[in-house]
């Protein structure tokens, strides 16, 4: 029988992953897509802008953008200089403007101005890779998808859910461990945990409700009083309580 790096069988790993997934649902009942949008096109645009940029900054930028550019045709016919200036705060604005204009044109030319609802079609569009496609599918169309961003990749490796490093291989490996219907929400919960608890440089190990199932426990401070100070977000007290710690 295949054995994982940390010594557990594949069956044991699947059971642990599913226990952790259930616990994540308890830890982060508020998990959701943190990009603001009202339709599939807006979500696709926001996700393109989120590359190398925080969701907070994107959400500060998109209200004016969405008010001016309402359709794919609007992006296709945009004045490049004006569009670049509007999205400048998100960084890499020239490349992103080119992607958005190309996206708009491709949607007009090939899909009647509407985003397609399949991953193979979405990934043929400018600025849309598998990560963006899965975000759009899962959150705008209700089609289950796993979003492998930097937080997701970091955590599933720390948790020994997979030893893969390539995002596509991670997507398939994790997808084989959990029910397909759970893919989208699992992605949100893992990402929430990465932003609020299991930070890149200093995870809050001593205040993490998943500590007992985590093979990387001890990577961050294990002292509860020190660890709880690292928790972020609006539910610090609740998360700490689930770990048996007082915030």
Report d(CA 133, CA 158) in Å as an integer. Answer: 25
> Of the residues 36, 74, 149, 182, which is catalytic?
149
Coil, strand or helix at 38:
coil
Burial string for 163-196 (b: 16+ CB within 10 Å, else e) reads: ebeebeebbebbbebbeeebbbbbbbbbbbbbbb
The total number of residues shown for the chain amounts to 247
Report d(CA 69, CA 76) in Å as an integer. Answer: 10
Q: Is 64 exposed, middle or buried (0-12, 13-18, 19+ CB in 10 A)?
A: exposed
CB of 135 closer than 8 Å to CB of 147: yes
55 assigned to active site: no
CB of 134 closer than 8 Å to CB of 119: yes
96 assigned to active site: no
- The catalytic residues are 131, 149
């Amino acid at each position: 029988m295949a054995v994982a790096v940390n010594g557990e069988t594949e069956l044991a790993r699947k059971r642990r992953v599913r226990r952790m997934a259930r616990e994540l649902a308890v830890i982060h009942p508020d998990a959701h897509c943190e990009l603001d949008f009202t339709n599939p096109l807006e979500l696709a645009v926001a996700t393109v802008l989120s590359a190398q940029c925080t969701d907070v900054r994107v959400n500060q930028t998109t209200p004016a953008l969405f008010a001016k550019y309402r359709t794919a045709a609007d992006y296709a016919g945009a004045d490049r200089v004006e569009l670049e200036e509007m999205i400048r705060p998100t960084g890499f604005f020239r490349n992103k403007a080119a992607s958005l204009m190309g996206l708009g044109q491709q949607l007009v030319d090939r899909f009647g101005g509407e985003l397609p609802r399949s991953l193979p079609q979405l990934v043929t569009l400018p600025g849309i890779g598998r990560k963006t496609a899965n975000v759009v599918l899962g959150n705008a169309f209700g089609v289950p998808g796993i979003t492998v961003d930097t937080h997701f990749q970091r955590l599933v490796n720390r948790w020994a859910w997979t030893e893969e490093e390539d995002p596509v291989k991670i997507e398939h490996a994790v997808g084989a461990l959990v029910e397909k219907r759970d893919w989208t929400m699992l992605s949100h919960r893992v990402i929430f945990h990465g932003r609020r608890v299991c930070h890149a440089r200093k995870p809050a190990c001593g205040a993490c409700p998943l500590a007992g199932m985590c093979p990387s426990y001890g990577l961050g401070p294990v002292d509860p009083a020190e660890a709880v100070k690292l928790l972020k977000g609006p539910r610090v007290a609740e998360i700490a309580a689930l770990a048996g710690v007082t915030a």
